[in-house]
Homo-oligomer: A and B are copies of this chain.
Amino acid sequence: MLPSHITYDVAMGRWEPNTRVRLVVAAVDLFAEQGYDATTVSEIAERAGGLTKTTFFRHFPDKREVLFAGQELHARLMADAVAAAPDSATPLEMVGAAVDAVAASFSDDRRAFSARLRTVLAANRELQERAVAKRSALAAAVTGALGQRGVGEPAASLAAGLGVRAFYDGFECWAEPASQRSLPDLAREALDELRAALVTLA
């Protein structure tokens, strides 16, 4: 059986969907084995099944972006969930739907891959900065969607930031090798804790 991230990432490929996923997996494996800096695009392409650099560059602008291939999809999943929330939903309920939607795209058979990716990111400052930028991009997408639903500023971006944080807090727990719980579960719990803290601060 294919790991679920293949089905999942297929939606993102514009050319030869499986190639894209193979490149992502090959990159994470190589970065984990020999380090990010030491790995070349040619090596990634070769490991992905004898592909060429040219093929790599049809999918990704550089070796860094291969680690953030999910950004566009994750942003869309979150924004779409906000757009689809019922009229009666409060801003935090809309954000809850966004967190559920993105978390549901990570099934448990991706846990080991995600743990490896997390280790790669943690080992490199440039990658950490790019990861922070991904968080900002997700927050911006949710903020925009909340704005479309009539939530004003700064409440929209505040709520969006809470949702993105809940997702990542949940992800950190989920990507622990010993973790048993699902990401939707953990992300929801994180959001509940953030909501409680909000009440305390307010």
Footprint of B on A, CB under 8 Å? Answer: 91-92, 128-130, 132-133, 136, 153-155, 158-159, 161-162, 165, 169, 193-195, 197-202
* Count of this chain's copies in the oligomeric assembly: 2
**Is the beta-carbon distance between A154 and B194 smaller than 8 angstroms?**
yes
**Is the beta-carbon distance between A155 and B200 smaller than 8 angstroms?**
yes
Choice from B136, B153, B197 contacting A154 with Cβ under 8 Å: B197
**Is the beta-carbon distance between B128 and A158 smaller than 8 angstroms?**
no
**Is the beta-carbon distance between A201 and B132 smaller than 8 angstroms?**
no
Choice from B92, B130, B195, B199 contacting A129 with Cβ under 8 Å: B130
Residue of B nearest to A136 (CB): B132
Q: List 20 A-B contacts (CB under 8 A).
A: A92-B201, A129-B130, A129-B132, A132-B133, A132-B136, A154-B169, A154-B193, A154-B194, A155-B201, A158-B162, A158-B194, A158-B197, A158-B198, A161-B161, A162-B201, A198-B201, A198-B202, A199-B202, A201-B202, A202-B202
A154 to B199, CA, bound (A): 12
A193 to B201, CA, bound (A): 14
A198 to B154, CA, bound (A): 9
Residue of B nearest to A154 (CB): B197
A89 to B153, CA, bound (A): 27
**Complex contacts, A201 vs chain B, CB 8 Å:** 91-92, 155, 158-159, 162, 198, 202
A128 to B197, CA, bound (A): 30
A91 to B200, CA, bound (A): 10
Which are the 9 A-B pairs with shortest beta-carbon distances? A202-B202, A155-B197, A129-B133, A199-B202, A198-B202, A129-B129, A154-B197, A132-B132, A158-B197
